[in-house]
Amino acid sequence: MEETNMGRRGYAYPSVVMMVFIVFFCGPAWSLEKGDIRYTA
Amino acid sequence: MAFINHKYRTPFIPAGTKVVIKDVEQGDYDPLKPNSGSEPSVTFMIAEDSAVDYGEKHTLQFHKKYQRGTKFLDVAERTFGTKNFEQLTEGFSDAEKWAIRKGVLVSGMSKEAVVVSYGYPPSHRTPSLSADTWNYWASRMGRFLVTFDSSGKAVLNGHTVHSQFVYAKQD
């Protein structure tokens, strides 16, 4: 059976998609916004 | 009010006071162009079930020149947290808790308790909290120092001008 790189390519592609997802959709750690209930610190 | 948190003739709001965020303004100030725009700010109101000054509205303004190495939203997040007084002061001594309610410092206070009582020292003069001396301002011109001994406990440093309202004795 002929060996190919398909498996490796198939593995690499989702990891790039995951990185893009984390950067653009998980967003920065801060979230302070109008209407929030907070405590002074 | 400013995030640099002057200690004299400014409204005093104890740590752990419940507030409602009314507005977060990120401003359009350009550090390369002095006086080029507004500084970031947070407007908030004391919450109804809070112990002090219910309904009062305040605006905290961030001055980038005094907050070198810090970002507005990071400072805003650490100034308006999610922990109430009991959670903020967990593990602190009774003297430290008393001082935090009064917004003062007492001798022997830990660095953590000083931060809760007084806020973070402006980073342009105190870039690292591991330093033994922290710079605070009682007013625009009234800089004073809080010093710590080798075990990290606050000590009276002999500063007399502001000591009447910086340091206090327990009731």
Instruction: Give tens-digit pLDDT for B5-38.
Output: 556 556 678 888 899 999 998 877 666 666 667 7
Other beta carbons within 10 Å of B70: 18
The pLDDT of residue B136 is: 84
Q: Cβ contact (<8 Å) for A32 and B80?
A: yes
Q: Cβ contact (<8 Å) for A40 and B22?
A: no
The pLDDT of residue B94 is: 93
The pLDDT of residue B157 is: 57
Other beta carbons within 10 Å of B132: 13
- Please state the separation of Cα B31 from the chain's center in Å: 24
Which positions in chain B touch A32 (Cβ < 8 Å)?
A: 21, 24, 42, 73, 76-77, 80
Residue B107 and residue B156 in contact, taking contact as beta carbons nearer than 8 Å: yes
ipTM above 0.95, yes or no: no
Q: Cβ contact (<8 Å) for B15 and A40?
A: yes
* A1-41 per-position pLDDT tens digit: 555 545 455 555 556 666 555 544 554 555 888 999 999 88
A27: contact with B, CB 8 A cutoff: no
CA distance B133 to A26: 38
Residue with tokens 């430290």: B96
Q: Cβ contact (<8 Å) for B20 and A28?
A: no
Which positions in chain B touch A40 (Cβ < 8 Å)?
A: 13-17, 19, 79-81
Residue A40 and residue B51 in contact, taking contact as beta carbons nearer than 8 Å: no
Q: Which uninterrupted H or E stretch holds A7? A: helix A6-21
Q: Cβ contact (<8 Å) for A40 and B79?
A: yes
The pLDDT of residue B161 is: 33
The pLDDT of residue B87 is: 94
Residue with tokens 């419940």: B18
CA distance B11 to B1: 8
Rg (C-alpha) for chain B, rounded Å, is 16
pTM, two decimals, is: 0.67
Distances (CA, A) of B148 to A18, B54, B155: 47, 35, 6
Residues of chain B with pLDDT under 70: 1-11, 29-36, 51-55, 67, 156-171
Q: Where are the domains of chain B?
A: 19-166
Q: How far is A12 from chain B (nearest CA, A)?
A: 34
Distances (CA, A) of B133 to B13, B121, B153: 24, 10, 11
